[in-house]
Amino acid sequence: MAIDDSPAAGTSPPRIGYARVSSPGQNFDAQRDALRQAGCGKIFTDTRSGVRIDRPGWRHLLDYLRPGDTLVVTALSRLTRSLLGLLETARTLEQRRIERVSLRERIDTTSATGRCFLAMMGAIRQVERELRAERAAAGRASAKARGRPGGRPRTDTAKLENARILYQNSDQTAAVICKSVGIGRRTFFAYLAESARMRRPSRHGAGGGLLWD
């Protein structure tokens, strides 16, 4: 994380820039130049992927911003790589009364057009969620009508038992056995635990013999 305090022409409200590159081999020159030209006197930077949340520059930027400030980026992708992340970021900044400007997309929330654009993006995201939910519900209804249960298909018990026998009577690792049999390791270990529980003596019967769970 670095902070650039290069002087810029006075603007009101204050404009603060944020620049991000994904790897140390990249540089901030082009972003810094564009942000200074846009009137940013202070620029926070990060060398982090856009999908990561542990960005120190972004964290210090949020601590620095005050209501009425304007956050400027060269492109929306500098903020985050996902639409959901972008909408969450926009909501956070809006709640703090911080304006947003993206130079490439020509978005400026100090204008009605910019606010409308972000609102449209939020509406698109909501439509996507509802369409996915509708498709999932239709798929479950179709499967039920054909007599097929919903959810993931159950792993063949015969495969699990074969894997258990191999695991307990050979030197092969669980990863090798699961791959050869065609089952998941998590499912296999859950089956092992359940098998051990079923075979474990738990109490004495009326005649003193052992009963099994």
12 has catalytic annotation: no
For helices 174-181 and 185-199, what crossing angle results, to 10°?
Answer: 100
**Buried/exposed 150-162: b ≥16 CB within 10 Å, e otherwise:** eeeeebeeebbee
Considering 22, 23, 82, 195, which one is annotated as catalytic?
22
C-alpha distances in angstroms, 90 versus 31, 100, 109, 125? 20, 8, 10, 13
CA–CA distance, 112 with 96 (Å, rounded to integer): 18
**Which helix (DSSP H) or strand (DSSP E) does residue 179 occupy?**
helix 174-181
Find tokens 């738990």 and name the residue.
202
- The CA-to-CA distance between both ends of the chain, in Å, stands at 58
Cβ neighbours, 10 Å, residue 25 = 7
Cis peptide before 201 (omega within 30 of 0): no
Find tokens 């990249």 and name the residue.
26
Active site residues: 22
